[in-house]
Structure 1
């Protein structure tokens, strides 16, 4: 038996077969190298049931025979070296299946691919990039992410701004445009919708064919690295939307890769995802686990992403999710949880945090599965954050109600606190909520044009003050009226109108206020950070609460009704001065409040179970946030010692 195959050690192949290869991309796929004095490209591809595998491409005129690869023992991997081949060559694998079917497949490990509609892989090594983000990495090590602000700007690279129809800005151009904007508006991170190669623009990158290929729509892998490097230089983290739950059925992709159900598994009921027209991965197969875990490490190691938002966790772990009854299957225990998927997710997170302890692993999970953000040694899945889909659904449902109906649905406002500390939550206002006829965030609000703006400002204030980290999809920051159109650029033109411009500046001020107030983020996941003042005021549709931390306290008041209260009294926990930080209804933000009191002194009048209270003017559809400065209680006349 050979000790190696053109430099690939048997140990590497063994680990790949066992599901324990964390860096399989270092030897799988196409790698330019010099072997025994000869320059060329080494190929390695997993096709265990194939009779034969060869490489065809522009270098041999797409000759039907191709350059044959050698079977590496019993590993199921075919390996070969083509002398004289250079970076940039187009290629595919020609696979003869066990049934004599001839398949032309793109490389699952291709590091670069042709732009659609073409589907060939491109020989593209792992070139060194001159990173200059050491200071960013050093700062990231100092404080756990839980104790830092996390305000994510979710963006789709193909529609934030574009030059024209299907004429996109490159990664490098986005580095000069998007990054300064995100910095100016106060976000801490950009989260990109999937950037892997995909054939259909309308899938937004969620139906992948090239899991290791940065999509060629926006330029080269080096340009993507340039974009991320610039983000880090400007103090911005970058999160990649990652899709390990399914893949599309295009013939050049993973489906029946060697003529057999390989990546998708043999049980078609489990493989089929009819809602999306895709196939789910077979997490029971060790080589599939090596492929996926290595893919996660690839993006983190080679591109310096600061985290992964793992898509569709609910679908990954639930055998029945998004499937009709005829496709339901059961696990070995008779339940509907995918036990192999659970094991995969735990192994994924353990591996990622082994190499990158301070990374962000965010689960986009709509299920009620417990302990998603608990460590695996405590029985959890091992993520460090989970999207709070319950909060998002309840709040958007509530904001669409008329003020009269809100009095009967007050629980939609308050229920989230019952479970807010059961996981480490991110409060997402994401792309999924502003497409497919769901309307934009602004247009979800009840009421007239002016009332919609007032309520969106109020809603954003409540979102910022509620425990949990934050995520907002692009366009929401200026109140885009139309829902997201993935084939067109965002409606930047609406910023010529005062209402949208005022919203834009309000969100900017709100974001920076959040960044500058540690009370809003340094202990998000400690129940001690939150205290209700008035929680049951359903008749007036109002809530008030305290945020606390070692840095002090903030008092938040939200009026979800259309009524104006000129002398509204609420309880206050301490005696002193309450200074206004944010008022969503001020004229400068597009509201109607002209005379706003900046400081309010609490009084020794008990209210809402508190020893003190404050009186203020509370306009309709308004969010107000106050900081607090303690002050000694002045003695009353009958308390003065007259001796």
Structure 2
């Protein structure tokens, strides 16, 4: 039966694909009925059954290993050898179970599994373990007993909220401190969290939380789905961090990596029970052609059980407020989206899509919202898949937000290929505001992607080598002046034209210099570029402080006025000849003069009748500007002609400057 779908109503070009869309929705509903007896939340409880657990009488550990013949628990308690006292019992459906007296294991013991399968055997870290630690000397990873006798005391549950417009501070725990080493959960809570709160961001997106054997992977080659990375501290310390964020009214979402997994067999799950296809594809689809990793087989119910349980685990155990799903494009298409240009709608519905992955993502989002209606999900997706961030009822996959990945790419392309005296303000507005009407998006000028080795941050593209010797406030450098002005304009343009949320990677708000380069052979395992130099922004003699002040006040303006909650973005002026752009959001009028050479006096901007107050001026001295605009003036609109209902406000627009005005309606007197 074909139902009426709102995504087709909002985009009639989808009418030819209505059958495919409905078929995908039906497949998700059918799969849900197949795997659940009541709710998805009840189904996604694998972490309560599998893994190591302690009750009042004994320890119990279970794992699913259908290809294995025998399984042993090994550790210091067994001299790391298989022993009859630690042999699992094979029970139904390929499951293994071992019960032990409480005295057999103690807190912080290291352990592994030793599996036997037809033709071989091997040591493995349990799939469902919740803590994995690397030995500092041998560099070998082992699971670790970590069972607190008392449950963690959450102090600030009542302060957890859901924001209509997330202002996301993307952060990596390990590189968040200034030291040349790996930062910790505690250091982040004590040193960085207060900065985020002061900056006004209402959501933190934590990267690299799931355990990963190679630090330089940025957390994207996950080995243990349920283990919070021990290189940053203990599970309790991560919970303290999240609880502290909640105390400040800040949501915490997690980068979740379900698009692929690390190939490592000793640390990962790629060949856990001796079969390569236990969780992953067995054919040519097993290995990701671009990421040197393994691809999950989302068609297997056991894989759905694993991943959906993982979704619930982090929400339940750590009180995360949602997820940013990594690599969604890679999941949606058999070719991972690598050989498609997505220039026609047929490419979303031509049979080259992984229907099992689409089903999984649909169920994952339904589970998130079923378990915690206030949790959010954000998709990292670049193909423009229709319905991605539409509700299930409307015919979509039910993500709350889509990352507007084309915007940072557009800024880089513009800076690299076009002199700013030739920037087309109309095209800039189109690129920043263009989105599917029915979807909410998270816009950003740059994330961590633009800061990795091989690429450059926006500030470095704009200033280049002058970054090293001309960032003190006493210096005079036209390149730095230009770079600072454009850095502010780019960010304000992005947020003022954004769909429904905004993202910034830590440090980029103040123009953090240089790139991100994790320790590796090529840099002699140096941490020099895998950290954040907060002392730069704290130094009042340097210009980094001015960029930080502008970002803080820009975010404060959104927090006060909530202008990106307004779905309609009105472009009231697009003057390509003079490079002047004016955008109206709610009661705010954003006026941009991108002209690098010309300032304009008495420039008329179409406006509603009334008076206007200047509430943000990128040219203020405290923002690294030149104080060319009087911030104390009130601006009154004037009719374009005698008795005309059309009004304008007339402004002085300095070059490379943005001015934001608050509209104050004029009271009528009868």
Superposed, 1:21-60 pairs within 5 Å as 21-35=43-57, 39=58, 41-60=59-78
SS in 1 for 2:591: strand
State the match for 1:612 in structure 2: 647
Q: Structure 2 regions of 5+ residues with no counterpart?
A: 1-34, 341-346, 464-477, 519-526
State the Cα deviation string for residues 507-548 of structure 1 (Å, max 9, x = none): 112221221112x1333xx3xx3211013x222232111112
Give a deviation string over 1:159-212, Cα, whole Å, max 9, x none: 1105443xx343123211122111111111111112111111101111111111
**C-alpha contact (below 8 Å) 1:187/1:511 kept by paired residues:** yes
Match of 2:599 among 565, 571, 592: 565
- Report 1:428-447 matches (<5 A): 428=444, 429-445=446-462
TM-score normalised by length of structure 2: 0.83
Of 504, 512, 534, the match for 1:492:
534
Unaligned segments of structure 1, at least 5 residues: 1-12, 326-330, 636-643
Question: Equivalents in 2 of 1:563, 1:457: separation in Å?
Answer: 17
Give the C-alpha shift of residue 631 in structure 1. 1.5
Q: In structure 2, what is the equivalent of residue 191 of structure 1?
A: 205
What is the Cα deviation at residue 588 of structure 1? Answer: 1.9
Judged with a 3 Å threshold, the aligned counterparts in structure 2 of structure 1 residues 228 and 464 are, in CA distance, closer, same or farther, namely same
Contact 2:166–2:502 under 8 Å retained in 1: yes
Pairwise CA distance, 1:395: 3.0
Quote the offset at 1:574 in angstroms.
Answer: 1.4
Q: Does 1:547 align with 2:582?
A: no
Query: Does 1:135 find its partner at 2:162?
Result: no
Describe the shift of the 1:19–1:132 C-alpha distance in structure 2 as closer, same or farther (beyond 3 A): closer
Structure 1, residues 574-604: CA drift from partner, whole Å, max 9, x if none? Answer: 1111111111122221112334253211111
Q: What is the CA-CA distance between 1:227 and the residue it aligns to?
A: 0.7
Partner of 1:85 in structure 2? 105
Matched ranges for 1:331-410 at <5 A: 335-400=351-416, 401-407=418-424, 410=426
C-alpha contact 1:32 1:87 (8 A) present in aligned 2 = no
CA distance in 1, matches of 2:339, 2:167: 37
- For 1:163 and 1:415, how far apart are their aligned partners in 2? 39
Deviation string 1:124-162 (CA, Å, 9 cap, x unpaired) is 23751000113213xx2xxx632xx42111111111105
Q: Say whether 1:505 aligns with 2:524.
A: no
Q: Residues 264 and 279 of structure 1 are in contact (CA less than 8 Å); yes or no, is this contact kept in structure 2?
A: no
- Match runs of 1:201-600 below 5 Å: 201-252=215-266, 253-321=268-336, 335-400=351-416, 401-407=418-424, 410-419=426-435, 421-428=437-444, 429-445=446-462, 448-467=479-498, 468-486=500-518, 487=527, 488-495=530-537, 496=539, 497-518=541-562, 520-523=563-566, 526=567, 529-535=568-574, 537-548=575-586, 553-597=587-631, 598-600=633-635
How big is the shift at 1:378?
A: 2.3
RMSD: 2.6
Equivalent position to 1:109, from 128, 136, 146: 128
Contact 1:361 1:384 (8 Å CA) reproduced: yes
Find the aligned partners of 2:413 and 2:188 in 1 and give their Cα distance.
35
Tell me the equivalent position of 2:344.
none
Change beyond 3 A, Cα 1:610–1:589: farther
Query: Quick one: distance in 2 between partners of 1:29 and 1:206?
Result: 23
CA distance in 2 between counterparts of 1:15 and 1:59 reads 40
* Partner SS state of residue 652, structure 2: strand
Task: Please give the alpha-carbon distance, in whole angstroms, between the structure 2 residues aligned to 1:355 and 1:229.
Answer: 19
Using structure 1 for the length normalisation, give the TM-score.
Answer: 0.86
Distance in 2 of aligned mates of 1:475 and 1:25: 36
SS for the counterpart of 2:284 is: helix
Q: Which range moved further: 234-243 or 82-91?
A: 82-91
CA distance in 1, matches of 2:350, 2:116: 38
* Aligned counterparts of 1:483 and 1:540: Cα–Cα separation in 2: 35
Shift of 1:572: 3.0
Decide whether the 8 Å contact of 1:19 with 1:288 is kept in 2: no
Written as runs of structure 1 = structure 2, the 5 A alignment for 1:117-156 is 117-125=139-147, 128-137=151-160, 140=161, 145-146=163-164, 149-156=165-172
How many residues end up aligned between the 2 structures?
589
Q: 1:51 to 1:561 in 2, by over 3 A?
A: same
C-alpha spacing 1:353/1:312, structure 2 compared with 1 (3 Å):
same
2: distance between equivalents of 1:376 and 1:154? Answer: 28
Q: Quick one: structure 1 residues 257 and 45, their matched pair in 2 at CA, closer, same or farther if it must change by over 3 Å?
A: same
Match for residue 9 of structure 1? none
Gap change, CA 1:568 and 1:246, over 3 Å in 2: farther
CA contact (8 A) 2:44 2:309 kept: yes
Measured in 1, the distance between the counterparts of 2:612 and 2:314 equals: 47
The alpha-carbon distance between structure 1 residues 257 and 238, as it changes in their structure 2 partners (threshold 3 A), is: same
Pairwise CA distance, 1:560: 2.0
